Structure 1
Amino acid sequence: MSEEKLMSKKKPAYPISKELDEYLDYYNRKIEIPIHYEDLLRFSGSVAVYDANDEDTLWVRVFYPEFDRDEIDLALKRVYSNFVSDGSDSIFQYLNVDYVDYCTFGNSKPFRIKVRNILNDNYTLFYVKRTDASRVYGLELEHMLSPYNLNFVIYENTLIEEHIVGIPGDVFMKKNLPECTEFEKAQIAKEFVKFNERCMIRLLGDMRSYNYVIVPTHDFDSVVYKIRAIDFDQQCYEGKIKVYRPQFFKENKTMVDLVQGKLTIDSVNQYIVEERSIIAKRILSWGRRLKRLMDACIADTIAPPENIETLKAQLQELTGDINFRDSKNMGEILAHALDFVKRNYEDVSMKQIIDKKF
């Protein structure tokens, strides 16, 4: 199946529902900040941002009129203070807003802000985006069901999201992977199998190579690699089940070839069972909070009817679980998917849960 047919051409942004808003408020994901996404759109000029190899990054560095710049800088420092510190003004004198970048590629069109501590040159990156219910559900599910915690806050129609450190997947495959040892390549293959399964279980779509990062960590005399999603726009939206499995995107062919070359089918099965088991344990450990998020999602509209009908039919065929057949919306499909994992992770065979494309 071609990628053009696999993905919808344009996903709309969905508003934050009353139930989701109450959830975000209860779990301290809402905060009052002095700037909105639309305020940052008032830039008067921009220049393209190139990487170290003089390749266009598809980001542009924006500039503001002099009478707006001071106001925006102060507001962004206040956002920084509220987002990563105690919200006080005392640190402002040590902060400098080095740049504001705007991404012209993709659905969310985020702003990337670099705030630097002038005393030691340490810096923090964060993103300012428009709110989208799909993205918020994706961030919360990543926070609860992946190995990683995420820091983000909402203010009215503006989302502030932390930067996730790592090497973009497409860059890693091109520049870093060829230099890896055979042992490291086998370890990366294992992580891709787990990442593939994690995305499928929580219905996170469109994990093409530039929508996730590879995170290398030094451990004694070796390097351990992990894979993290960085884009959550396609949470529970598409109807085709393959969209939720990174293995089916052509941009990930290098990773799929790595899995096929480095892992036996028994190893793949082992890592799938491991990932399903740990996700099932996370589902149980988050308990009430995850249930409250699912209740909000079930009451929400985050996908068109045709996508819902397609996905629930494909998931029923894949799992044999009739609960998918009776799902009325994407929230119910997701809730049934998580419940299926929780109920069956100890004894579901590989044949029931993954296409043998690996």
Structure 2
Amino acid sequence: MVDVVVVGSGAAGVAAAITAARNGASVQVMEKTDQLGGAYGCSGGEVWIPCNDRMVEAGLDDSFEDAVRYVKGLSHDGRFDPALIERFIRKGAKAIRFLEQNSAYRTEIAAANGDHLPRLARSKPTGRLLVPAALDARRVLGGTRRWVRDVPNGKSAVRQGFSETVRSGGPALVTGLVRGALDAGVMFRRNCTVSRLMVESGEVVGTVLDQGADRFEVLARRGVILACGGLVDGQHLVAATSTREGLVWTHEGLRTDVDGRVKAARGGVIDGLYAVGAVAVDVLGDRHPGPGAALGSYLTFGYLAGRHAAHSPVRPVDAQLIV
């Protein structure tokens, strides 16, 4: 039994785990493969974050109002929730600051990339796009670095002239976050699959875990955060859980509120259940404001969900699985 269960060890999931743990929760992360990091462990790791600390340090002008106007100008059909966009823009810089303060992840302003559509009002030619600073995985994680996904050839930074243990891009992002999670007391369980959610009286109170031939029930006193990295895994998990509890899948993923809580079909939210990353409906709708916008929103809502879950009321522990 723990306070918070996180399903998936990608960037959003580990961000949620760090935040929940640093807010006093006991946290266990479930990962179906033998490596941590998900898809973003093999990516460039860029994040689009308006009004970020690196911009302030460099004397670059930006504001909440400018960023909101630019993002809302991108969508031609209104496929976004204004409340979620404003939440992302208002909390994004704070989320990155928190993660940098509580992990080995560090950011730098990308050298050449600005917003996607510079002709739109309040776009910026530079500053909003951040890249992970390179780090030495051997120094940061020691032997545990083998748990963390790298690019396919295992040498994410060699092409930039670094040694083979130095990682850049997405591998640097995930390596830094995993270090922060371990330091915060987060427990990782690899090579396991979450096959069911445990529900009682309409509240999600845990998960059913398959590992090899064994099956376990893992109770979550404060919440379950789905960060399983993709629509297929999320859809299978939702399909295995009773829809009479109001857990309904859309073709775009699970719909969430401003704290990452999953919305119920009957209205309101499903207590104890959060969704962040690619398993949730894209906060930014049909058009992204710049490279790294998806990952920026994933880290932001991972932070928000982890913080909310850590401060949620303790839920009953005598749950029954509803199938």
TM-score w.r.t. structure 2 length? Answer: 0.27
Computing the radius of gyration from Cα coordinates, the structure with the larger value is: 1
More helix, by proportion: 1
* Greater relative CO (CA pairs within 8 A, separation 6+): 2
TM-score for both structures, normalised by structure 1: 0.25
